[in-house]
Each structure stands twice: as structure tokens, then as C-alpha cells.
Structure 1
Amino acid sequence: MSSKTIAVLSESELKDGQMKEVAFEGEGKVLLSRLGDKIHATSAFCTHYGAPLAKGVLTADGRVVCPWHGACFNVCNGDIEDAPAPTALHSFKAEIKDGQILVTADPENTTKKNMSRQPRLLATGSAQSTTPGVVIVGGGSGAFHAVESLREHNYNGAITILSKEPHAPIDRTKLSKALVTDPSKLEWRPAAELKSKYGVTLRTGAEATQIDFKGKSVVIGSSGERVPYETLILATGGVPRKLPVEGKDLGKVFTLRSVEDAKNIDSEVQEGKKLVVIGSSFISMELVVAVSKRNLASIDVIGMESAPFEAVLGTQVGKALQKFHESKGVKFHLKSSVSKLVPSSGSPTDVGTVVVKGPDGTETSLPADVVIMGVGVGPATEYLKNSAGVTLDKTGAVEVDEFLRVQGVDGSVYAIGDIALYPQPGTGEKRRIEHWNVAGNHGRAVGKTIAEGKGQPFVKVPVFWSAQGQQLRYCGVGAGYDDVIVDGNLDEMKFVVYYVKNDKVVAVASMQRDPVVSKASELLRLGLMPTPSELKAGKDLLTVDIASTAAKIKVA
């Protein structure tokens, strides 16, 4: 269909710093954004999950942040600014004539079903260079977003992905949040499309066993095959931990990381079964939500803290979420530990009982048909222990600089995501952050650095979300907070919570208060977060102007 020019809104109805979603012929929608005297028009829906961007946050430096999951775009051209956006927005011509805003667009590109712009792809589907190019070790969010960013920023060399998994890079969040077991519904792009459009050589079932940094090659498999690289991105993610207790290797005891794990859990956690979940943080409790409608005989959750999510969200929020889960039939055993797993009398190779030690030292036996261990992950860096030149910390993490370059080797090697110990903006403190958005944004940052040959420090604000009856949103780094400010009603699961450290807000969580966390992430980025005293006095984040020309932000 050819483009049309349509008057969509009176100019007087769109003020400086405002966004509006307007109709465009039939089912079409266009997002208008005004920055000073300039009006920009883009497609109206986030390319991640289709959220209406008009309900998000606009900034004076041209960013529009999705109200749901933190994806961010540039309203001036539609380009991706932050993960998890997989493709850019359509950008349309906007002009003012006779007091009306006119938009010129192909109506097909304004519909929700065709909301995203084709990414910048190789014209021929193959790299223009025959040299080894970029090799990415890993098959998750970081790997995909690195590929997307490399091509978006006009990298035309070869790209090879080495993944030990049997499919293309996946959206791993859907494993715990929805227990999706079909890889085709998880892949960011099918293998065929990665090859034909992105010019990517994807090698599945290819597990790295060593990196020869001096010889610039990745050793894979037991054969010792070497894959050469010019630039290397290590994106191997995490390995689920298992408690070192008797019976941990019995049948029907699962962790969750891969599609195969999800299939095993899905097949066993069925109607009438007794489920015991060890660990009361996000992966564990997302799985509890995912299976809670299956009419299980019982769901028991064992946690060492006094409330689920306590270390991250605090006791008040944790208790409120506990109350919600208990209303759905979940039984918690908190301030408790697992003594051992006991085999089933009917099937001695499978688990049958979990012995729990309570806070008073008393042991209780919980019957179990299935056990899920959600007790965290460690960096998947075993292959680096045999690789001379790189030093791992005591957890197995890889130390990187502000550009995500691996320390101890030449500047052509990067580590991203769960394995990277990287300096935090503002403080320089090195932390390993396991948020999925962090891995994606790491990949985007490194892709741009490699493509442009010029590094920029990684300064993104971490964001995550979790399905806990209502959608929990969270941004920032709240570790070590010393005060908590609650705005709203925790029992009704409608709140904003501010985490304070050294009299500064360092993280924000919310439920049913969108787009507060999207706004908070931008305020943290810009250094404009209100003080704790202002928030206690009733200051509303959404009233802070960061979008108009009068906004006191430093525009890049």
C-alpha cells in the first residue's frame, strides 16, 4: 500500500513535552511526540510485547520508555535505545499546516500487527568480509541483542554464535513466567532468519570448553575444534545451583534454565501432584504462579528469609506478596532450611519427601512428588578455568571494565550478562547483576562499541519485572538499602516503594502504578530523582518535568 498524508490532530492539542496516540485510517495508530517546536511521529506500540507507548515516559533528549518492561526508543528516528525491544519503531514524516499536524505514512505500518520496522540487515544476507569477525559464545538475550546492535550500527563483518543449546537464542524469561516449552515460541529469530537476513552463522550444540586468548580461538566440544575470532563476546549466562544436601540428585528434582528443564517440569507438575519449591525468590515464585492453576494437591515453598523476596524487596513488600500467594493455597516454610531429600518408597530413585528444619530446629517432613530448586545461579564460566590469561573472582565471575572488556587479556574480548562483574555508574562498585534486561543492554552496548570502534561506558539503569499476581516492576540497584519508603497499599498490591541508601533513592519498585518505574529509571539515569524527604512529603515522580524544553536535563 502507498503512503498517505492525513491530518491527525490540531497543533494546539499537543504541548511541548507531550505524547499522544492518534488514529490513522481504520485500525492504524500513530504516536506523536513534541519536543520544543519539533513534532515527531512513530508507530504507537512497543515492539517487545505491544504496550501502548503513549502511556510511557518521554524525555527531552528524545527517549520514549515503554511503561511495561523498560524497552526504549528514539522518537526522532524510531531506533532502539534500550532492550528488550527486538526491532525499531516505524518513523513517519510529521509537519504542521494550517494549524493541523499532518502525518505521512503507509497505513499498513501504523497497525499493531505490523508495528515494528525491519531491522537494518545485510543486503546480501552474508558478511562482506571473509575474516573470522565477531564470535559470540552463548544463546540468550545478550547474544541476540549483540547481533541486533552490530547490524543496526552497520557492522558488515562475519558473526558466529556458538550455543550449547539446540535452538536459536531465546527469550528465557518466558520459561519461568509462563513455562513455555516450545522453542519456536521462545526464539528471538529463527535460525533460518538469522542466517538469511542477519548473515549469522549459528552453531547449536557447540559448547565452549576453553578460550585460547593468545591464539584468538574458541575451543569447542571434546574434539578440540578451534573456532577463530577477531572479536569475542562471552555471553554464557548462569548455571542453576543445587543445594549440597543428601538426595539432591534424585529423580523428579529439577532446576530451571533450559527449554529441556521447562519440558521436564511441565510434564511432571500436573493435577494432583505435591510440589515442593526450594527458594522463595523470583524464579521460584514465578514458577509457582505459572503452575498454580493446575489443581495441584499442594504447593509448599521453603525459604531461608523471613519473607519471600526479602533480600531485594524488603520485609514489608515480601510479606504482602506472601499473603497474596497464601490466598491461592501456597504454604510457606520460612526461616527454614532443607536437611535432606528422601527417596519415595514406591520409586526409590525418585524424590518422595523433603525434610525441612524450621527456625526452632524442629524437622518436618513434606511429601513431594516433584521438587524444584530455585536457589540462584552461578556464572557459567567453567570453560574459562582452563583458559590462561583471565582471572575469575571467587564466584566465577569475569571482571570487566566500564566498556565491558575482559580484564587481563587484549581489548578484543568482552563479557556480558550474568557472568560479568562490571562497575556501577556513579559509584564504580563492581557488581554482577542477573537481570535479563541487563544482559540485553550489555549486548547492545558491546555491539555498538565493536561496530563503531569507539567504546562508551555502560551506564544503563537495571530494570526487571516479575509476574506475582500483578506485574511487579523494579529499577535500580537496591543492594544494601538502609531505608524503605512505601507509597500506596501493600495489601491491595497497588504501591510504589522507594529504596534508600545514604539518603539517596537507589531503586524503585511498583505494582499497578505504571509508568512510575519507567519514570524512575529515567530520573535515576539523569540524576534527577527526588530526595527521600521530598518523597516522604508527598512528591509525585510523575510530576517531575523531564520532557519539555524547560526540563533541567542535560540533552546529549
Structure 2
Amino acid sequence: MKNGVVIVGAGHAGVQAAASLREEGYDGPVILLGDESELPYHKPPLSKTFIKDPAAQPQPLRGEVFYSGHSIDFRPGSLVEGIDVAAQRLALAGGQDLAYDHLVLATGSRPRVLPLQGSDLAGVLSLRSVADARLIRDHSTASEDVVVIGGGFIGLEIAATLAAGGRRVTVVEALDRLLGRAVAPLIAEHVRKRLEASGVRILLGTTIERIEGDNGHVAGAMTSAGERLPAKMVVIGIGVVPNVELAQAAGLAVANGVRIDGRMRSSVENILAVGDNANFRHWQTGADVRLESVQNATDQAKLAARTIVGHDGDYTAVPWFWSDIGDMKLQMVGLTMGSDRQVLSGDPSENRFSVYHFIADRLAAIESVNRPADHMLGRKMLGLGFSPTAEMVAGGAEALKAALAALPVQG
């Protein structure tokens, strides 16, 4: 334990891993390496409140005093260039190296690059960091026309926020529906209609052929249908790729993320991976997945800390996620893959409803729009392994609460 734990990445997963090590009683050195100069911050607000408020500042995950008060050696602006697995050392930019007993890779992910003519023009942006969000915010003040490429969660959050601020926003999505098949068709269609009613133009089944510029700055985007969309800013949001280069170069098993076991260990036992960059066999579906959510990053980091201090136990956290798009709070719990039956609760015309996903009679997931009670009950039901009947779902929250209350007490 003389060299302690080194954590690479100071996002939600990395900061939680450091905090959880102390909560679990680990008393060795804990070094947290971040590649940004900022104090670690919350990322979800960047696509919403941050870009619409010129005075908004990043929301710290923990106050500065937390790190010093818990003997966490936080080192901002640290770039890791390599891992020597045999020597248990990291090579840092600038020629330094750093020894470790355990290494936690919380390197996250980065926006997927779109190889387009004109993508290097000023005003062509993507969002992953607070620096990116500042650029989007700054450019939006002088951009009446904005094109968002990609109809996923991040793209739609940005589109809704900018449209609410008076911008003319066009979303261009290559698929025939929004949200990349990540939600039920009913919810995807509901989101499309609400966004269009708020003034966002949405082009489905369409791609951008090239981005056009004027004096080095974006001026428009040409679609596959031959339409020229005026734009002073183009935001690319076509998904992310996991940051696995360090792990791959070090010889760790990698497949759409760093391959980990149920205790967050990579193919090298004293190197763990958590968060967006980790790929694991999910307990609920039996499939290999890589989950991009604050919940997953946080829960995996907690378990990684427990693994390091010697506790047993595999990862069994119920996955959940949320997204705020205009006047819609989307909340998802569970995983829909493999589901073969859906039950609707609530009325989409009221902008408040949920879709319950089942595999045969087993509850697999719930997707909600402005129905937080359904979401919270879903987290309880999936955590307990309880599956309601269609009649219980039709009875609403009260019927589900009663069914849960009638369950035998777990002893």
C-alpha cells in the first residue's frame, strides 16, 4: 500500500472512486489525476442551464476543501502517456512517472468525430467538457441559425435549450426517428412533436454532406437532400467513443471499452475501470454493455473502492438515466434490450406518461416522461426483482405502492 491508488480521470467516476476509498477506510495514498484545469464538475447541466446563462459557472462535484480534508492528492492538468503494467508505473507528460499499487481507469469518453468537409471551421463544435460548453454559449450569442447534427440526448438537450433562447434550430438525424432507438418509438415520436411545437425543425432520414464557410467561419450546412441550411454554429452530437487508448497500449483486454469483471477488475487484476470507458457483462440482461450515465459511473466507482479494500460482491446496481429536453423530463430505469411487450400508463397528450417494458411477464425497464413517481417505483421494483401485472400498471402509482407494500419482508 506504499504507492496507494492512482485514479486516472476526474469526472463523476474518478471523484467518486476517491471519495469511496476514504469512506471504505482506505488509509493509503490516493492520487486523482485530471486532464482539465477545472475543479471536477457536474456534466449534465452543461447542455442545459450552463449554455443558456452567461453568468453560469461549473458546479463542483466536491468543494476544494474536500480533497485536502480527505488527503486526496488531486492533480489537475495531468496527462498520462502510458502504463507500465509490469513495473506498476504511469508515464506522465513532461517526463515524470508515478508508481501505483492499484490503478483505476476512469477515463470516460469523447465525442465521436464526423469526417465532413468543413468540420474544421470555426463555429463547428461538440460538447463534452466545460470548455466546449463555454464555446457553445459564446457562439450562440451571435448565432441566430444553429444546426445540430444528431438526434440523441445531448443534441436534443442543446437544441431545446437554444430554441428556448430564441435561436432558429434545425436538428438533422440520419435515422428515421430521434434518440437512436434508445427509447420506445412512442416516446421518440412524442419528443419529436413537442420539439417541433416549440419551434425546432427536425429532419429525419437526412445527413449532412458538407459544412460551408465564410472567411474561416461556418456559414451553412448542405443536406443529403440538397437543401442548404444557414448556420452560424453547427453542433455535432453523434455519440461518443470510450477512451481506451491507454488500456489498449498497455495490453489490457479491450472491446468497446475496457473489459472488466463483476468487481470492476480489468484483465490485469490490480487495474480497475469504471464509468463510460468500461464494458461489462450485465447482470440483468446477460449481454456485454457499456453504460454512459452518472448513475453507472458513481455505482461502479463505489464498487471499485470496495474491491480495492478487499470486499467481495459483484456489480448489481439497477441502471437509470435521465434527460431534460425542453418541458420533458425523461427518466429511464432498467434496460429495454430483449423486451417483447410494452404497457402504457398515462396520457401522452398531457405530456405525462410512462412505457413499461416486459420480457414475457418480467419487468425489464420503465421509460417515463414527467412521471417521476413511476421512475422511483421502477427503481424499487427492479431492485427487488418484482414485476407488476398490467392491471397494477393501469392502477397507477397507488396500486404499485400497495403491491410493493404487500411483498414479504426480506430477511
What is the TM-score of this pair, normalised by structure 2?
A: 0.93
Cα distance in structure 1, aligned partners of 2:336 and 2:392: 17
Shift of 1:154: 1.6
Which residue pairs with 2:141 in the alignment? Answer: 270
The correspondence for 2:80, drawn from 204, 208, 211, is: 208
Q: Which runs of 5+ in 2 are unaligned?
A: none
Greater fraction helix: 2
Partners of 1:380 and 1:511 lie apart in 2 by: 32
Q: Is 1:467–2:324 an aligned residue pair?
A: yes
Paired position in structure 1 for 2:202: 332
Partner of 2:249 in structure 1?
386
The alignment covers a number of residue pairs equal to 407
Counterparts of 1:75-86 in structure 2, within 5 Å, are none
Are the counterparts in 2 of residues 271 and 295 from structure 1 also a CA contact under 8 Å?
no
Letter of the 2:263 counterpart: F
List aligned pairs for 1:370-519, cutoff 5 A.
370-388=233-251, 390-393=252-255, 395=256, 397-407=257-267, 409=268, 411-451=269-309, 453-468=310-325, 469-519=327-377
Deviation at 1:506, TM superposition (A): 1.3
- Shift in Å, 1:482: 3.3
**1:271 and 1:293 mapped to 2: Cα distance?**
15
Task: Report how far residue 541 of structure 1 moved.
Answer: 5.3
Contact kept, 8 Å, 1:436 with 1:464, in 2: the verdict is yes
Deviation, structure 1 residue 184? 5.8
Q: Give the AA of the match of 1:352.
A: A
Alpha-carbon displacement from aligned partner over 1:439-473 (angstroms, at most 9, x marks no partner): 0111111122223x113101001111111213221
Give 2:60's aligned residue. 187
Q: Which residue of 1 aligns with 2:191?
A: 321
Counterpart CA distance in 2 for 1:265 and 1:425 is 38
CA–CA separation in structure 2 for the residues paired with 1:535 and 1:334: 36
Distance verdict in 2 for CA 1:350–1:542, change over 3 Å: same
User: CA RMSD for the aligned pairs?
Assistant: 2.1
Give the whole-Å Cα distance in 2 for the aligned partners of 1:367 and 1:260: 25
Post-superposition CA distance 1:493-523 (Å, at most 9, x none): 1101112335533110112322211111121
For the 8 Å contact 1:191–1:202, the answer to whether it is kept is: no
What is the letter of the counterpart of residue 12 of structure 2?
A: S
Q: What whole-Å deviation, never above 9, does each CA across 1:361-389 have from its counterpart, x for those lacking one? A: x321111100000100000122223213x
Moved more, 365-374 or 515-524: 515-524
Query: Following TM superposition, by how much is the alpha carbon of 1:480 offset from its aligned partner in structure 2, in angstroms?
Result: 4.4
Counterpart CA distance in 1 for 2:358 and 2:161 is: 32
The 2-side partners of 1:286 and 1:252 are apart by 18
Identity of aligned residues (%): 27
TM-score w.r.t. length of structure 1: 0.69
Q: Which residue number corresponds to residue 166 of structure 1?
A: 37
Q: Do structure 1's residue 251 and structure 2's residue 251 form an aligned pair?
A: no
TM-superposed CA distance for 1:524, in Å, is 0.9
Instruction: Confirm or deny: 8 A CA contact 2:171 2:200 kept in the other structure.
Output: yes
Is the Cα–Cα contact under 8 Å of residues 179 and 290 in structure 1 kept in the other structure? Answer: no
Instruction: Report the secondary structure of 2:350's partner residue.
Output: coil
Q: Provide the rounded CA distance (Å) in 2 between the counterparts of 1:503 and 1:493.
A: 27
CA distance in 2, matches of 1:309, 1:542: 31
- Per the alignment, do residues 553 and 425 of structure 1 end up closer, same or farther by CA in structure 2, a change over 3 Å counting? farther
Q: Distance in 1 between matches of 2:239 and 2:286?
A: 25
User: Structure 2 residue aligned with 1:552, among 395, 408, 411?
Assistant: 408
Report the counterpart of residue 50 of structure 1 in structure 2. none
In 2, distance between residues paired with 1:268 and 1:501?
Answer: 46
Structure showing greater radius of gyration is 1
Which aligned runs of 4 or more in structure 1 are off by greater than 6 angstroms? Answer: none
User: How has the CA–CA distance of structure 1 residues 174 and 318 changed in structure 2, closer, same or farther, with 3 Å as cutoff?
Assistant: same
1:215 is paired with a residue whose SS is coil
- Partner letter of residue 223 of structure 2? V
Partner of 1:543: 399
Please say if 1:301 is aligned against 2:168.
Answer: no
2:381–2:404 contact (8 Å) kept in structure 1: no
Q: Within 2, Cα distance between the matches of 1:198 and 1:177?
A: 32
Output aligned runs, 1:30-109, within 5 Å: none
SS of equivalent residue, structure 1 residue 491: helix
- In structure 2, the CA distance between the partners of 1:520 and 1:553, relative to structure 1 (3 Å rule), is farther
Query: SS at 2:372's partner residue?
Result: coil
1:353 aligns with 2:220: yes
Worse-superposed segment, 212-221 or 177-186: 177-186
1: distance between equivalents of 2:277 and 2:83? Answer: 15
1:546 deviation in Å?
7.2
Counterpart Cα distance in 2 of 1:542 and 1:443: 34
The 3 A distance-change label for structure 1 pair 350 and 481 is farther
SS of residue in 2 equivalent to 1:515? helix
* Distance (Å, rounded) in 2 between the aligned partners of 1:334 and 1:254: 21
Q: Read off the aligned partner of 1:351 and give its amino acid letter.
A: V
Q: Cα distance, 1:192 vs. partner?
A: 4.0
SS of the residue corresponding to residue 292 of structure 1 reads helix
1:185-231 CA distance string (max 9 Å, x none): 42112334311x1111111111112111111112221x332111111
Instruction: Give 1:286 deviation, angstroms.
Output: 1.1
Pair 217,191 (structure 1): closer, same or farther in 2 beyond 3 Å: farther
Rounded Cα–Cα distance in structure 1 between residues aligned with 2:142 and 2:343:
41
